[in-house]
Amino acid sequence: MSINEISANKSFEGWHKQFTHSSSVLNCEMRFAVYLPPQMEQGKKVPVLYWLSGLTCTDENFMQKAGAHRMAAELGMMIVAPDTSPRGDDVADDDGYDLGKGAGFYVNATQEPWSKHYQMYDYVTRELPQIIEGNFSVSDKKAIAGHSMGGHGALMIALRNPEMFVSASAFSPIVNPMNCPWGQKAFTAYLGDDKDEWQQYDSCYLLQQAEQKTPMLISQGQADQFLVEQLKTEALEAIAHEKSAPVTIERHDGYDHSYYFIASFIEQHLKFHAEYLS
């Protein structure tokens, strides 16, 4: 459970830091980033927002581009950004940007050559929270958010762990990976052909099954180039409507899939989580 600080930048009177650690779940060395709000230096136990990034990202994209530190500092919220896959020279990979390193899809792989390292579901829901709670002065309140593949991860993990996360939010999430090219490619590789395996990682399926009480906020840009083929927001929207689930979906004209969209609405997302984390 020991972690190694490799960088520290003061930011909005708090700290952005990166750590490496040996992951027993992923069987490799991992890096993650945190934002530590100034309230932590004053000895206050703060709640934690886990942020899951999208395809090709590392822990760095969100911290550098989302402009989230300002509001996290104001709200007194720690942010934890893990990497998007296991890493290292002996970790299986693929030439595509949407499979292998940078594309873990937050599942526990069952298939060769992926299963040895690609256990991102367990990493995010079990090992990483233990590390955070063992090394930082945090409260037991947790929320989860993400973008695109990470939006899929955040909603899916919240749906499967209603006692663990008080709220979930997503920008441009892949809500129905079983029925889009990105999800089908990744699930086939990591999970094989067993659709029962696939379902447990599909937010539409999970929302259909259970009574969902975790409040969720989804922001979707209407000029997002992946909206129709990959994201399929309307599929989750229909199920949420049918089940009267506490899911708010906001569509924004003109916004695309980029971090400029995330930056434009991150304040709203952080305030949404703060309502449940406080």
Where on the chain is the footprint of its own copies (CB under 8 A)?
9-13, 16, 64-65, 67, 69-70, 221, 223, 252, 254-256, 258-261, 263-264, 267
Residue with the two structure tokens 């972690």: 3
* Rg of the chain in Å (alpha carbons): 17
Closer by beta carbon to its own copies, 65 or else 243: 65
d(CA 118, CA 86) in angstroms, rounded, equals: 6
Tally: H helices and E strands in the chain: 10, 9
Please pick, among 59, 93, 98, 224, the residue that the annotation labels catalytic. 224
Closer by beta carbon to its own copies, 69 or else 141: 69
As measured in angstroms, the least distance from the Cβ of 258 to its own copies is 5
Q: Annotated catalytic, 140?
A: no
As measured in angstroms, the least distance from the Cβ of 43 to its own copies is 18
Closer by beta carbon to its own copies, 257 or else 273: 257
User: CA angle, 181 as apex, 61 and 244 as ends, to 5°?
Assistant: 80
Please pick, among 23, 85, 148, 219, the residue that the annotation labels catalytic. 148
Q: How many CB atoms lie within 10 A of CB 215?
A: 19
As measured in angstroms, the least distance from the Cβ of 70 to its own copies is 7
Q: Annotated catalytic, 22?
A: no
As measured in angstroms, the least distance from the Cβ of 8 to its own copies is 9
Residue 188's alpha-carbon distances to 82, 107, 174, in angstroms, are: 24, 12, 16
d(CA 256, CA 221) in angstroms, rounded, equals: 5
Q: Annotated catalytic, 196?
A: no
Closer by beta carbon to its own copies, 31 or else 141: 31
Please pick, among 69, 257, 269, 273, the residue that the annotation labels catalytic. 257
Whether the Cβ atoms of residue 214 and residue 159 lie closer than 8 Å to each other = yes
Q: Which residues are catalytic?
A: 148, 224, 257
